[in-house]
Amino acid sequence: MVIKTSPITTMEGAFSVKGLNVVITGGNRGIGFGIASAFAQSGANVAILCRNPESGKAAAEKLAAYGVTTYAFQADIADLESVKNAAQKVFKVFPSIDVLVNNAGISASVRFLEDENLRQWHEVAATDFHGPANVIYTFAPKIIEGKKGGSIINISSIGGQSVAGTKTHPNIAYHACKAALDNLTKSLAIEFGDYGIRVNSIAPGPTHSDLDKQLPPDAFTKIEERMPMHRFGEPLEIGALCVYLASPAGCHITGTIIVHDGGLLCIG
């Protein structure tokens, strides 16, 4: 049976995600918490998956202030069994899953041949590429089971489309994995389309998050001077785009890589 999502016929409720059940990896901090906040403020219930249970609990408690149901469960997305164990806990509190956001990720600034035994390469790949695959593999069947479609959103990066800064800020594994994630997004959009599930990627550019700590002190000024919008993005802005993609207004958008970078990619 092919599930076709219904087009909007009115703007009333077109951007509403109220009552939806949303699972967000890495939703305890940085961009992930911005995404979780955007959904909670919009009336969606949120389950956070993260490695740090204390941080996850604190984040869930903050989100509960918006009057929605929130949970946090420990999971290492690089470990399929860990994801499966967390999923069983999520399924006990959420009878259905409407939205899945793959946000958790790490990076490593090391030159390729200086990466001893490719240790950092494999660490980044395990989290940034295999991690989303583990999560989708585990949670997508639950969305399909609901027979009402849904939305999977992968948080990629403009680093998946441009490697211009490699000379000064080598991040080869991260760039490679984000490019692979974008292609996985397109492939799964085709595979899941019959189930009414949209699969999209958001590619943030410079956005204030925990990764800020890896930038040299003068990087912020230099980057903002080059950007057409002359400022870094904020996590809640990425969250706002996620809410749009998950809402009825975004029900015909799938297989896309949406850049959210203040125009930086335009200038190379």
pLDDT class of 221 with cuts at 50, 70, 90:
confident
Residues 234 and 151: their CA atoms lie apart, in Å, by: 22
**pTM of the predicted protein model:** 0.96
Chain-wide mean pLDDT for the chain?
A: 95
Alpha helices in 76-206 (DSSP H): 80-93, 119-128, 130-146, 172-192
Q: With CA atoms as reference, report the closest residue to 107 among 180, 174, 58, 158.
A: 174
Q: What is the pLDDT of residues 224-258, one digit of tens each?
A: 999 999 999 999 999 999 999 999 999 999 999 99
Return the minimum-mean-pLDDT range out of 58-72, 116-130, 204-218.
204-218
Question: Active site residue: 66, 71, 174, 244, which one?
Answer: 174
Residues 107 and 171: their CA atoms lie apart, in Å, by: 7
* Angle between helical axes of 130-146 and 172-192 (0-180°, round to 10): 20
**What is residue 213's predicted lDDT score, i.e. its pLDDT?**
65
Reduced to 3 DSSP states, what percent helix, strand and coil does the chain have, rounded to the nearest 5? 50, 15, 35
The sheet carrying 99-102 orders its strands as 70-74, 45-50, 21-25, 99-102, 150-155, 197-204, 257-260
State yes or no: pLDDT of 166 exceeds 80.
no
Q: What is the pLDDT of residues 107-127, one digit of tens each?
A: 988 999 999 999 999 999 999
Is 195 catalytic? The answer is no
- What domains can be seen in the chain, in order of their start residue? 21-259 (3.40.50.720)
Would you mind telling me the total number of residues written for the chain in this entry? Answer: 268
Burial 231-257 (b: 16+ CB within 10 A, else e): ebbebebbbbbbbbbbbbbbbeebbbb
Residues 227 and 158: their CA atoms lie apart, in Å, by: 13
